[in-house]
Amino acid sequence: MQEKDDAPIHRPLDLDPKRAGRVNRAPYAIIDIGSNSVRMVVYDQLGRAPLPRFNEKSLCRLGDGLAQTGRIADDGFRRTVEAIRRFRAIADAMGVTRLDATATEAVRRAENGPELVEAILSESGVAVRILSGAEEARFATLGVISGFFRPLGVVGDMGGGSLEVAEALDDRIGEDWVSLPLGALPVEAIMQEKGTAKRRIDTMLKEELPASLARSTFFAVGGGWRTFAKAHMLMAGAPVPVVHGYRITANEVRDFAKHILKLPPEKIAALRGVPKRRVRTLPAAAMMLDRVVKHLKPEHVVFSALGLREGWLYSQLTREERYLDPLVEGAQLVGLPVARVPDFARALVIWTEELYPEETTADTRLRVALCALSDIGWRDHPDIRAEESFRRVLQFPFIGLDHAERAFLAFALHARYAGRPDAPWLAGPQKLLSEADRRRAEVLGRAILLAYRLSGGTPAVLAGSRLSIGKSRIRLEVSRTARVPDSEAVSERLALLAASVGVKSFEISEIHD
């Protein structure tokens, strides 16, 4: 499964207002026909950081009874065709110019799977590609690769009919992979055999899931495991209410799985974060996550909102598009179109790059994303800009970042809008950041606040100035053409920045052009 390409890799971290303007990008849709549900997602574009415009599923449960009869039941067959007819009508009405459809375990195994594919094509005009187990594993892993910053670990995707496991090695997929009939529906059936379920599952994992796939990080993909994560987040009071990038220890996973497995259905239904449609399958998801973690022994589990669909989408991109940074692309798609002067974000990237000369690539991408988002709150009332921007970034469906990085961006934007460092809503997310990262976020935010006040949000004026932060003094140098700012507002912003840095002295001076 390893994909090899010896060409040099270029990973740009630039901002481009034209690219962010979605020029000539039509909505793109994909339909995923799984063993439990049929879902269509319409994205704003076929690009590196697509945002869902429409996301709906129909619980057709194609896998019900499949093990006994070898066929998709008539009811599931009919409901699937009807669901896709409706999805096709919605896609057409939304102006979708490309609609892809894939089918997985149930259609692959069913005697009448090809008949279903033919009926869908006849009734809706949608051509369905039936994926092999290897392709399922590949696209699920590509989904994780597309959704995180250079991930290293093993990916597990539990669907309704099967479990796929493969390696994510930065931008590549490892050689080893497996596809096992351990999706939610077959595991439900196994769990009916009281006293033997764990032993049966453990035996299958021991025989079919090679120990060579063991890694310190396990990326969990699939709706059942996302529901598991949401319930755990709410129980634990996680400071960032987003499943993607949620990271917990293997021990925490197993403890919570055992807790769920002891609950009767009515108690599972009462768990916060568990929708009615997941009450039935959550025990199977908990059982499998517990047994896989026990078998592979990772240190942490990271939950991914991206999987097969996003991996398929990612595979359709050009090489150049795949190596665009997902966080930077998402930030500029959100931030630049609403900014008063879209080009100002690029000027900010240049103006702030000397503040931390030793920053890592991971630090740089956060700073560039921050610059792209730096004007998202200008339409809000001044009294709520800091809080609203903080909450918006904390929950927005960005990809390519974990919870700590999300908290960093939210803190920095809060500081950019002059938010108080002791604001009560900062308390939870603050726990995700080290003192050094929290200070760096505040300094970057205050520096950007100064940049907007100094220049009026115009790139030409900002380019005529330079900010330097020393151990005991902050110096703002401004060229004659930009005018030396004799402004109380600028001095106030410098004072805020100085307080964040921890120095008491600052000065403004003129530099000659």
pLDDT score for 513: 59
- Mean pLDDT for back-to-back runs of 10 residues, the chain (513 residues): 64 86 79 94 92 92 89 95 97 95 94 96 97 95 96 96 95 94 93 90 95 94 96 96 96 98 95 92 97 97 96 95 95 94 96 91 97 96 96 94 97 97 95 95 96 92 90 86 68 90 85 68
Closest CA to 288 of 272, 269, 301: 301
Report phi then psi at 511, rounded to 5: -110, 145
d(CA 442, CA 450): 12
pLDDT score for 320: 93
pLDDT score for 335: 95
pLDDT score for 481: 67
pLDDT score for 486: 58
Report phi then psi at 111, rounded to 5: -55, -40
Q: Is 282 helix (H, G, I), strand (E, B) or coil?
A: helix
Structure tokens at 245: 């990038």
* C-alpha torsion angle, residues 497, 501, 507, 513 (rounded to 10): -80
pLDDT score for 140: 97
pLDDT score for 285: 97
pLDDT score for 64: 87
pLDDT score for 67: 83
Residue with tokens 């900062």: 426
Distances (CA, A) of 333 to 16, 23, 61, 378: 10, 11, 36, 17
Structure tokens at 169: 């090695």
- The burial class, CB within 10 Å (0-12 / 13-18 / 19+), for 87 is buried
Distances (CA, A) of 121 to 6, 94, 126, 209: 39, 20, 5, 36
DSSP string for 11-70? ------HHHHTTTT---EEEEEE-SS-EEEEEES-SSSS--EEEEEEE---TTTTHHHHS
